[in-house]
Amino acid sequence: MKLGAEPCPEPLIVDVEGLAAFIMKIQKDSGEIPWSVGGKTDPWDHVESAMGLSVAGKVAAAERAYAWMAAKQLSDGSWCSALRDGAVEDGTRETNFAAYIAVGVWHHYLVTGDAGFLRWMWPTVKAGLDYAVDMQAPTGEIYWAKNEHGDTDSMALLTGSSSIYMSLKCGMSIARQLGMETPSWIRALTGLGRAISDPPSHFNMIKARFSMDWYYPILCGAVTGRDARKRLERYWDKYTAPGWGVRCVCERPWVTMAETSELVLTLAAIGDFESAETVFSWLADKKYADGAYWMGVTFPDGVIWPDEKTTWTAAAVILAYDALRSITPAACLFSHQSWIDGFWRGPDWEDG
């Protein structure tokens, strides 16, 4: 299929308020946002959920989530990969988890315009990004993690490094807004961008079966323009199931609502809103009676699996909806053109 080849469907309406209420119902008093009721919490999806709350205007709840991140950050700037009921379930310290706080903080600032929030979160953001940058390989990719004993695993993930690329862009934007100098981040971004645009030679943990390896280099802005469009078109039929969604793994008849929402964000990022609307329309019937979206579904038999109702799925849908409907000033967070036009400057920037 060529992008934009399908007729544009009726715009999908999303109950943002209802999805935010669902996330807040699962959020704990501490600010922590687990995957689901009784589920684990990981830093990346926790931040994603907080971003959904920001779009919905739930500023206090989102800021409680960021306060929880600040409180749980380890001395080296990282976070444990998973906690459950306050106990560490996985002590691995992933670089993309540590870096992603920058995306959430910049996003929240774009929604609220609150420079005080940036200043409050700056030490947390800086420590998280420094942790990731310190694990950059000479060829530009960033090693994926240290174990609980502090030993570096020198494997590198294309998706994880792409997430860090976006995090560095946001972190540098925060730094500029606060008048901070971050030359090491600029060097890291340049080297990382080269590595991402020339995979897979730099990435020794190949996960090309997963759709995220397909669109994340574009979503983060490392692959742009004609190259981005060619990449999307080349593998479109491999990863998409029209009418159903985006496959998590290319050879399996299983689509997930989060990956589908992220492809919407990717298409919107390159300015292809027609294709983005088409993909977003595939989510119309993929939700429970209470409005929560399915995590995934097999096709063509239509079996919902797993039946877990996840906060980060709800947040991904909200973020995709914002990208299409411009609910907030952060709607252009991933837009390639917006970054070219100086989107990183933020709402309080004064030229000269």
- Where do the domains of the chain lie, and which CATH numbers do they carry? 16-345 (1.50.10.10)
d(CA 348, CA 226): 32
Please check whether residue 167 is in contact with residue 188, taking contact to mean a CB–CB distance below 8 angstroms.
Answer: no
> Which structure tokens are listed for 304?
């919902």
For residue 80, with 0-12 CB atoms within 10 Å meaning exposed, 13-18 middle and 19 or more buried, which class applies? Answer: buried
Buried b (16+ CB within 10 A) or exposed e, 175-204: bebeeeebeebeebbebbbebbeebeebbe
User: Does pLDDT of 5 surpass 90?
Assistant: no
What is the model's pLDDT at position 202? 79
Res 9: pLDDT: 76
How do residues 69-98 score in pLDDT, each as one tens digit?
999 999 999 999 999 998 999 999 999 999
Give pLDDT, residue 352: 29
CA distances from 141 to 186, 244, 327, 329 (A): 14, 34, 35, 31
Query: What is the mean pLDDT of the segment spanning 179-200?
Result: 92
Pull the structure tokens for residue 9. 């469907």
pLDDT mean across residues, the chain: 94
Q: What is the pLDDT of residues 219-266, one digit of tens each?
A: 999 999 999 999 999 999 999 999 999 999 999 999 999 999 999 999
Whether this model's pTM surpasses 0.75: yes
* Phi, psi for 152 (deg, rounded to 5): -80, 130
Strands 87-90 and 93-94: unpaired
User: CA 222 to CA 198: how far, in whole Å?
Assistant: 10
| Ranges 249-263, 276-290, 330-344: which has the least confidence | 330-344
- Planar angle of CA 118, 19, 236, nearest 5 degrees: 90
CA angle at 244 for the pair 241 and 247, rounded to the nearest 5°: 50
Structure tokens at 158: 């294309």
- pLDDT greater than 90 at residue 175: yes
* Burial state string for 342-351 with b = 16 or more CB within 10 A and e = fewer than 16: ebbebeeeee
Output the six-digit token pair for 53. Answer: 């709350």
Q: What is the mean pLDDT of residues 261-290?
A: 97
